[in-house]
Every structure is written in C-alpha cells, then in structure tokens.
Amino acid sequence: MTNPFRLEGHVGIVTGGGSGLGLAIAQCYIEAGGKVMVVGQNADKLNRAVAQLGDSATSLQADVTDAQAAEQIVDATLSAYGRIDTVVNNAGNHLKKPFGDTSADEFRGVMEVHVTAAFNLTRAALPALGKSSGSVIYLASMASYLSVPEIVAYTTAKSAVLGLVRATAAEVSSDGIRANGIAPGWITSPMTEKALGQDPARKAKIIGRTPMGRMGQPQDIGNAATYLASPAAGFVNGHVLAVDGGAVTGF
C-alpha cells in the first residue's frame, strides 16, 4: 500500500526558501520524496540551501514582487522538472513601526510580498497545478487573528492571506486544485530573532502565553506543509492549520 504521506514524483515551489521556514519546508518536502524549486533573493543563501538540500533541489534567484517573477518561476520549474504539484507562498517581510509613522509605501511593500506576490505566483501556476491536481499553501500567521502595537502592515497582510486561502479554495477546487494555509505562532527563525531582538524578557513572556511552554521549530512548519501537500490531505481544502503550540487558543 502506498504511504499517503509520501511525495515521490511531486515537485514543489517554495518562495523565501533560502533560509528559515522556507528552507525547513523544502527540507521536509524532499525528505518525503519530493523535489523542490527554491526561490529567493539572496544568491549566497540559495547556494547554501541547495548545497544542504542536495540533488533534489534547484534554486532560482528572483524578487517575488517583480511583475515578471511569477512567470519566470513557473517556467523555470517546468523546465527543470516538467511539472508542479505544490506552490508554497512563504516569502515574507516584517515591519515594526508605529501606525502613524508607517508610510503608504512601507505599508504597500509589506502587502506586495505577502499578498500580491502570492496571488501572482498562484495565478501563474494554476495551469500546471490543474494538470497535476496539485495544491497551494499560503503562509498566514497568528497575526492573522491577533495583533499587537506597531505591526499594522504585517497584521493587515497576514489577515488578507486568510482571504486568499478561502478565495483560492472556493474557485479552483473545480479544477482539482486544493488551497490551504499555515498559521505559525512564534517559531525560532531569523525573522523572529529580528523581531524579538535582544529581549529575553519579551521572549519569556511569549513562551508564558504559549500553552505548550516553548517556541516552535522550523521543522514544525515544514512537517505541516508536507502534510498539506501530500495525498494524506487530499480532502483538506480551504483550511488554515494553526501551528502555534496553542498560542491563539490560549491567548
């Protein structure tokens, strides 16, 4: 009997795949038997990622906010592997700034990475995903549901991702394509370290608010993404999977 959690023969695209959560997602996808196109802006990070991931990974340096990037990513993946089974819209950025000091351009910049770029890549990949009966995974956040001061752009963007999950699932399921999301809580990653800075008291407060009493690891997100991409999740559609140690539930 075929293991429904395996991904042999599957090909995934992971944006923001050079480090952090994206790299962990790519690693887990490959460990399940798949191949991955890793997309990112930093050539050094991409080279290190591919060296770590091995022969089952290829990289493409691209700015996902560029108007031409989506088609380039899809074309490069089809050229390398001949198919696309999963698109993981993981690329992200973060802006910590008071509401009144956040400029329209700064706000737009966060929205473009988390929302517009994800829409563009998903749209470009739809024909290939339809052929493979594939799936789309959007990275949401606990900030999709909760907010704190000084992250108005990030909270708004991640809330919009929930709408993308619903809209994609509602419209493209008739073509055999599933769409889901993952809402990470506080996960140890470069972005988290940047957000927390050297503030052990804040980190302790965050852990204290998480029912499981710890921060998550990138592999927790990689495992969730691999599950959602796999045949085991074949009837999971329009769902946002919280991977937050119960943080939102226990808030």
Residue 154 is a catalytic residue:
yes
| Tokens matching residue 238 | 């329009």
Mean pLDDT of the chain, nearest integer: 96
Q: Note whether residue 249 is domain-resident.
A: no
Residue 192: per-residue pLDDT: 78
Q: Note whether residue 1 is domain-resident.
A: no
Picking from 86, 20, 56, the residue whose alpha carbon sits closest to that of residue 220 is 20
Q: Note whether residue 138 is domain-resident.
A: yes
Q: Note whether residue 32 is domain-resident.
A: yes
d(CA 97, CA 151): 6
Q: Cβ distance 91 to 16 under 8 Å?
A: yes
Residue 246: per-residue pLDDT: 95
Q: Tell me the per-residue pLDDT of 170-188, one tens digit each, with 9 for 90 and over.
A: 999 999 999 999 999 999 9
Residue 118: per-residue pLDDT: 99
Q: Cβ distance 238 to 179 under 8 Å?
A: yes
Residue 194: per-residue pLDDT: 73
d(CA 179, CA 72): 22
Q: Note whether residue 3 is domain-resident.
A: no
Q: Note whether residue 127 is domain-resident.
A: yes
Residue 65: per-residue pLDDT: 96
Q: Note whether residue 63 is domain-resident.
A: yes
| Torsion (CA) 94, 97, 102, 108 in degrees, nearest 10 | 10
Report the residue count for the chain.
251
Q: Could you tell me what percent of the chain has a pLDDT over 70?
A: 99
Q: Tell me the per-residue pLDDT of 50-86, one tens digit each, with 9 for 90 and over.
A: 999 999 999 999 999 998 999 999 999 999 999 999 9
Domain of 53 in residue numbering reads as 11-243
> Which candidate in 29, 81, 154, 227 is catalytic?
154
In the chain, how many domains are there?
Answer: 1
Residue 28: per-residue pLDDT: 99
Q: Note whether residue 250 is domain-resident.
A: no
Residue 228: per-residue pLDDT: 99
Residue 165: per-residue pLDDT: 99
Confidence of residue 244 (pLDDT cuts 50, 70, 90): very high
Q: Could you tell me what percent of the chain has a pLDDT over 90?
A: 88
Q: Tell me the per-residue pLDDT of 133-145, one tens digit each, with 9 for 90 and over.
A: 999 999 999 999 9
User: Does pTM surpass 0.85?
Assistant: yes
> Tell me, what CATH number does 44's domain have?
3.40.50.720
Confidence of residue 196 (pLDDT cuts 50, 70, 90): confident
